[in-house]
Amino acid sequence: MAGLLSELLTLARAESGRELLAREPVELHLLVSDVIAVLEPLAESRSVRLERDADEPVVVVGDQARLTQLLVNLVDNAIKYSREGGSVRVAVSADGPCAEVSIADTGLGIAPEHLPHLFERFYRADPARSRTDGGTGLGLAIAQWIVQRHGGTIDVASAVGEGTTFTVRLPLATDEVGSYTAGPQPA
């Protein structure tokens, strides 16, 4: 219940434009390493191999706490929806003017009819999963908000029985640093 309330408050503040996000250099390759270290015990408990391909320095400007929340959410989901003996691979790279983070699992996959709805609040592709196993149904809505507020995009590709890949693209860092709000940005 506390997690659900916290997520609802995050979304409410985001929509009202009162959620301030920091603007500081964030080394995504190091952030991914930290997130993997934190989630490794969960992966091990589920017999899922957690792999990292994030050796090259990739820096964006953003809110480290929110970017951590984004990555934890996506990697945690990938672990939870992977089969025993499966794997989750998190890769970070620079692609032109963007940083790219992909989280690919060898899990259950998502049916095509569910893909357009994944980022909707409370949407659950598998309603048979309990809230205990499957979360609150707000994590991907929050993930999308975090990515959009950082000027990026998030996409998903999936095949039933083969796995799912979430791809986040964020602008690479420039020299500009400061603060910005999460509400509509001035033109």
Please write the tens of the pLDDT for every residue from 116-131. Answer: 888 887 666 654 444 4
Identify the pLDDT of residue 175.
54
If you average pLDDT over every residue of the chain, what do you get? Answer: 81
Residue type, 84: E
Tally of domains within the chain: 1
Tens digit of each residue's pLDDT (9 = 90 or more) over 77-101: 999 999 999 999 999 999 889 999 9
Rg of the chain over Cα atoms, rounded to whole angstroms, equals 16
pTM for this one?
0.81
For residue 181, being part of any structural domain is answered with no
Kindly state whether residue 180 falls inside one of the protein's structural domains: no
Task: Residue 160: give its domain's CATH number.
Answer: 3.30.565.10
The CA distances from residue 176 to 5, 19, 137, 146, in Å, are 34, 20, 35, 19
pLDDT of residue 70: 94
Domain membership of residue 186 (yes or no) is: no
Residue 184 lies in a domain: no
Does residue 137 lie in a domain region? Answer: yes
Q: Is 187 within the bounds of a domain?
A: no
What is the extent of the structural domain holding 155? 2-174
Q: What are 153-171's pLDDT values in tens digits?
A: 999 999 999 999 999 999 9
Is pLDDT at 4 greater than 50 in this prediction?
Answer: no
Asked if the structure places residue 79 within a domain, the reply is yes
Domain membership of residue 95 (yes or no) is yes
The torsion angles phi and psi of 117, rounded to 5 degrees, stand at -105, -5
